[in-house]
Structure 1
């Protein structure tokens, strides 16, 4: 591919990072199912271990198949580099790892995936870290929550479960003013709908398990670095700005510049945390990304039609889809994600918890699973599953109350999906459905 040409998204999702295999000419990226790699000689090995040369040592750190995926996702997101890992949850920990120390905190949105809320409110305490949860619809509240120990601000571009849109630029301005990086989980949006770096984000994380792979086959995660943050400006990020004892005093930011975070993620994060993506998972995700734009267009078109239908159903109290003209996030959605508001949203049933459970047990095409972003349409009752560990107050703040069903709209025929929802709602709330 010509380096000087600005290629379109559809071309990059197929070609970025990949080349015909030099040994065989294979056009599809091979699965390099190898633990280790032969060094040319002793000097070559020493340079690799000293970070003086880029190459392959051991697949906990680097692997040729994973490397192609890293470059492809970084390219689609407009980043300078990326590190792939074993899951979306692993990506979140790896994103925070170079930034945090005991006593430090992250300011996080109240509207996050339930597992993320649990990870941030409970698990990271074991590292001596903490989280402050704030309504990101209020940038001033975010600014007020940041203190001298804050090391990152974290939110979702399109929030799970409700599909609410975040004003990334507004929060990025707050983070910039405080001198801390903004980390955006872009799992639900994908770079086809939102490119957070263009809105001021420092780092972007993904659960590649979801829309990027798109077929429900493998788990994975990714952290994309914008390369634009000055890690040496404040002294708050010594892992990146100060001497690293394990590499004989090497300073990552001084040595690698814009690639400092990416190199640290591999040379320290993957080395010591070991949250490695396996090459077969990378291969499946590469295949999925080749059709990302086509799938997202269908997810959005189906979601728009189904959300509009649900909004008129007598058993439904509310639909949260930002693509609806009635949504308070509709204007923001047109600004942040002009290609569409995604395929994930929730709806409230007038019959409450019992109606939700009956609905879940009655669907036929929709699959009742703890996943999203699949080609298949999926549904779940978040309050009793993905957000079960949260308090009732946290569930409501996250949009996962007891009367809420989350649906991830797939790429099937929209009329068939509506028919399935209609028969399930008729069983869940027969009196209202008959109105």
Structure 2
């Protein structure tokens, strides 16, 4: 009989929260809950999701105690796991992160380039605040953080809260593996055993086998070279690919792969290797933030309101996705000592032998009650080493700029980003970002 857990979802008003609840409910035999709490500082937004989830929990798992609050003491008391996915500034600030760089012909994306830097400067204090609440009210709890931009946030937690029980994660590799599983005719992405190295949204697979040890790479490489991660002429059964921007991203993998056909790339590398292509195919007046606001947010919130009004979720279209499944798998490994092999964002400490030991890298780890143990990926090729070291420097400079309130270091971070063509362009973008982030960033000097 597994011990029941208490979970707080920080970011209760997120459009992903209901899907996490569905996944938690569906996995009660693997990760049983005694209590589930929502926490958000936006009470109105959280109420939309919480009212629907209260119905879902009542119908499908009435034994779980459910509540939603904006009071940190109530939220973080008697908690075993904090599942954090906050977006400081909301989608309105994401829109600015994307559109301001595009004004200057630079990639406008929420986690890469200037947009990622801007978002990080808002996210750092928000995530640190959550860690402090957890350590004050439930010091034995684990935080599973998938707040973006995960790589810079992870560096900030390493520097600012080095002893905190926090694991930084991302579901993007899972989404890519889901498409790869479809391509390879596997039933589930968990059938894939991998070797992977890099940073968050910035990495490469070097090995993929099935559970029987059969090498998947020869057939996969042949497919990716022609079609990227999309199926041959058809869309895959992947919810990400329902939107045109994601379809393009998964197809563009064929060009990223061509740069180094010895490895299989993360899709986000397109922003660093083909920034000119990304800008040329971007609409500076209608970005990904607008897509989310016009589609995902409207659809999820409309469904949540419908559930609350009808008092039933029996016919709901809300589903549990890989985003939630990954978190449940990780929490279960920590709680029940299952020794899962998972991609996590962790201090390097020699996992990648020939880069900075203090870099926050994304590598396979073994997860158990003792926490995580990174697997050694050895030395990596010069091409990847050069790209990673440049991006690590960007991330470290952002965190230093935040701590020191340094305009100079944030300008240096933007200048060093592979997505930005010059120091002068970096400065113009930075000045615009400062103007719209006065409510969120420290005052830079």
Give the TM-score of the pair, scaled to structure 2: 0.29
Q: TM-score with structure 1 length normalisation?
A: 0.30
